[in-house]
Amino acid sequence: MHDDRTLVEARLRRVLDERIRPAVYPESVPLEVAVWHAPGEPVPVAEGLAAEPEPVEVGARWGAPWGTSWFRVTGTVPEDWAGRTVEALLDLGFDENMPGFQCEGLVYRPDGTPVKGLSPRNQWVRIGAPVAGGEEVRLHVEAASNPVILGGSPLGDKETAGSEPQYTLARMDLAVFDETVWQLVMDLEVLGELMAELPADSQRRWEILRAVERALDAVDPQDVNSTAERARPHLADVLAAPAAASAHRISAVGHAHIDSAWLWPLRETVRKVARTASTMTALLEDEPEFVFAMSQAQQWAWLKEHRPEVWARVKKAVTDGRFVPAGGMWVESDTNMPGSEAMARQFVHGKRFFLDEFGIENDEAWLPDTFGFAAGLPQIIRAAGSRRLLTQKISWSRTNRFPHHTFLWEGIDGTRIFTHFPPVDTYNCSMNGSEIAHAARNFREKGAARHSLAPTGWGDGGGGTTREMVAKAARLRDLEGSPRVEWEAPRAFFDRAETEYPEPPVWVGELYLELHRATLTSQAGTKQGNRRGEHLLREAELWAATAAVRTGFPYPYEELDRIWKTVLLHQFHDILPGSSIAWVHREARATYERIAAELNGIIEAAQRALAGEGGTPLLFNAAPHARAGVPAGGAATPAGRPGRTELTAREGGGHVLDNGLLRVEVDARGLVVSVYDIGADRETIAPGRAAGLLQLHSDLPNMWDAWDVDEFYRNTVTDLTDTESVTAGEDEDGASVRIVRSFGASGVTQVLSLPTGERRLVLDTEVEWFETEKFLKLAFPLDVHAERYASETQFGHFHRPTHTNTSWDAARFEACNHRFVHVAEPGWGVAIVNDSTYGHDVTRTVRTDGDRGTTTTVRMSLLRAPRFPDPWTDEGVHRFRHALVPGADIGDAVREGWRINLPERRLTGAGEVAPLVTVDEDAVVVTAVKLADDGGGDVVVRFHEAHGGRARATLTAGFEVAGVTVTDLLERPLPEAEAPERDGDRIALRLRPFELMTLRLRRA
């Protein structure tokens, strides 16, 4: 037989594109269209429906950037369409290749009932099946003219976007829907896509080819609608051939990954969720096997608050088990940068919402798009009562291919969670044959397991799963040559996967994404707001709980709950990472300022209640370690610091600061050339190098501006050594040197301070930043021989190598820290602590002259200047505080990290305030002291072992304790946990390395 394969395949493509697909809608009549453009922000549905629109024609331009237009479409079903299926085709001007990134709509009936969403791949609205003929049609469309954001466009903020119409009204018709032709399209698409994935010499491929050829012969291209029915039987046998017993099995989960903000503001996400939920509940009614899952409790809460009519439909679908809450987090947050308590509260608030609303508890974390995963996360997931994780993003890594798709992930404390990376390599699966075949080929667990998951549907406002995807999945349920596809909820997949793979491989440590590393630095203002918000919440809970127990102060349950949810929302994986449009970050900065003011008000009121009236000077210490003689969580008159800091001239220019613990030399350039640890008799700074050095790099990544920094950025660097002035001074707290520099369009002022009686050099850096495509680093070249270093993560710290022995090591050229980075040799180390930065890099070189020692350089990432998606990223004034702590062990790093993030508060009062709880071991760090969320008045204390070793400690309550319960993060008793030994108000603690524990103390 001659090889005519390419001829038949080309014929299939053309006939489908030019004849069969167009015949799905063989007849149409235009609808009458009128439009009302809402002024300003979106209006309530009732107002939009009541507005009087003006007539408009197809082909008209509409929609200022970020505007809302209410279209009214009216018409009459032709009498001669009686007995047929009729749909409205409403094309707002869509580009079918951009679902989720342009205009969208939500269709309403005149009474305000939502029908479904409109998006580029979902433009139809069912009118009747069948119709009687003569029906009057009247629909309203709330259309959002969200602009397409490209490059350095000013469209990313309503304040700069202008008013130019963005879209052209394309099609507004009533049309006959030919079900038979549509089913034939589905048959041919599935078989054509499958055929393309089979070996060219396989029997199955040729059987499909011949069946397709016969079907095409049976279709009259001049009269598809009359002949489609006779074509389908030619495909029946090849569609009925069952899959092999060994075929890979895919659990399809209806999905619509919706970024809570990204190339649109938060307010638009509220509407995207409503559109998607409307479309999915409508699809669930039509497709009995379909299951849809939606994560992010915040998005569910938006539905409940803003779209009660959609919420009612969703609640019914949840009750039916078809619309499934997933993930158990408030949002799909970043997991690298959120602090310990914030990461815990993502699960507390997320899981509690689903429990309160539906009585449903998820046991999986659902994070398909998050940019890597911190090594402390497994313990948090487990402590929240969950035990599984799904993500897809690690497949985006550019250097190394992750070795597993199903595995156990082990965190810093030894906790393991069952983890799955869908081998389909997308969280927007469309049931295309190439995607399904790729999932089977790509699956790394072959021979040991055969199940994987495919999140199926268009995200980000693209409308979710389509009826075409459902139809394809039905054909792929049991089809020879293809994996088997079945709709399932996430829990069903995980149950099946765990059962078939009881001993999967183990991955230990962080799940580092070898991409999007710059998200640790972009949008410094957002990151600073997050860090400050986290610590203010700690203070507010601590002092409000202490005052409530001691004085009857009214604990602000509702205020704290609301503020926590606001902070958690802004930890979404395109807000905190700095990868959203200018509008998002402008609003975020304003939000952080507002909540900071509110939290400071709560703190001040609680502290005033605790201090009472009097003239005794008090220092309130919110840190988990004693400070200046003031106990952790208490207030007292601070002890004086011994000695003083001397300031002298440095030979050769510059200044010397000496407080008896450290001697610091700052040269004439304003650079730190020596930090001598007097007690240890050793130098901190590498010979011939300078610390506190600002370094500027060119920074134009290959792909994603705000997301990425590529390793070649290091190839060019400018050391900022020119000065405008270097001045020194001293006061009662110590001595300091002030340096002023300018570079490019920017300027910087640094103040280097050596406090009296303390072993730390403080660096305050203020930058007026007006650069473009630049990256600013703060360098500390240390005379330390270290093959690894530690950086803080949630509830502990994580070690990374300083070398680049392997491609995995080399790929970690930019990494995340929380409050500290620690570099050490046996017996001596250095900590660098910060108040608001996350990105850093650590490199090592061996000096070839002199002592041939090792220089380990730590550089903190301060600022970037990407142009997309926010062309004004970080322009303005920024303030950073870092401290260099020589002679520090890991405990010093932990303590100093807390100190710099929780500055002392001073006021006068009647006398000292005893802590609500104390712990007699510095290795045990208390991260939260609060009243129980249920309002019962019990005190909840959360703590962990922070040094990486075993710890024994005694926790002492400053009130009478009637009972102690070990709980999960949601403050529910852990039945498997042994109650700690208690002697009155003293509780004995025994913790494993990095172990996290929550205690609920019942007040007598």
Catalytic residues, which ones? 369
C-beta separation of 333 from 572 below 8 A: yes
Task: Provide φ and ψ at 573, rounded to 5°.
Answer: -75, 5
Separation of alpha carbons 741 and 151, rounded Å: 32
Peptide bond just before 483 cis, omega within 30 deg:
no
Q: Tokens 């102060």 sit at which residue?
A: 553
- Cβ burial of 597 (10 Å; 0-12, 13-18, 19+) is exposed
Give kind and range of the element (H or E) at residue 951: strand 951-957
Give SS3 for 990: strand
Helix ranges (H only) for 912-987 are none
**Terminal Cα distance for the chain, rounded:** 91
Peptide bond just before 871 cis, omega within 30 deg:
no
Give kind and range of the element (H or E) at residue 620: strand 616-621
Instruction: Give the Cα-Cα-Cα angle 648, 653, 654 (nearest 5 degrees).
Output: 55
Strands (E), 448-572: 451-456, 484-487, 506-508
Give SS3 for 470: helix
| Tokens standing for residue 558 | 């509702």
Task: Provide φ and ψ at 208, rounded to 5°.
Answer: -65, -45
Separation of alpha carbons 656 and 645, rounded Å: 10
Amino acid identity of residue 821, one-letter, is: V
Give SS3 for 885: strand
Within its chain, how far is the Cα of 511 from the centroid? Answer: 14
Q: What share of the chain is helix, strand, coil (3-state, %, to 5)?
A: 30, 30, 40
Separation of alpha carbons 683 and 229, rounded Å: 86
Give kind and range of the element (H or E) at residue 544: helix 524-551
Give SS3 for 167: strand
- Cβ burial of 577 (10 Å; 0-12, 13-18, 19+) is buried
Give SS3 for 373: strand
C-beta separation of 71 from 53 below 8 A: yes
Instruction: Give the Cα-Cα-Cα angle 542, 548, 551 (nearest 5 degrees).
Output: 125
Separation of alpha carbons 45 and 70, rounded Å: 10
C-beta separation of 123 from 116 below 8 A: no
CA 358 vs CA 325, 351, 778, 956: distances in Å:
9, 11, 49, 38
Closest residue by Cα to residue 467 from 431, 521, 498:
431
Q: Tokens 């009216």 sit at which residue?
A: 74
Q: What residues have CB less than 8 Å from 975, skipping those under 6 apart?
A: none
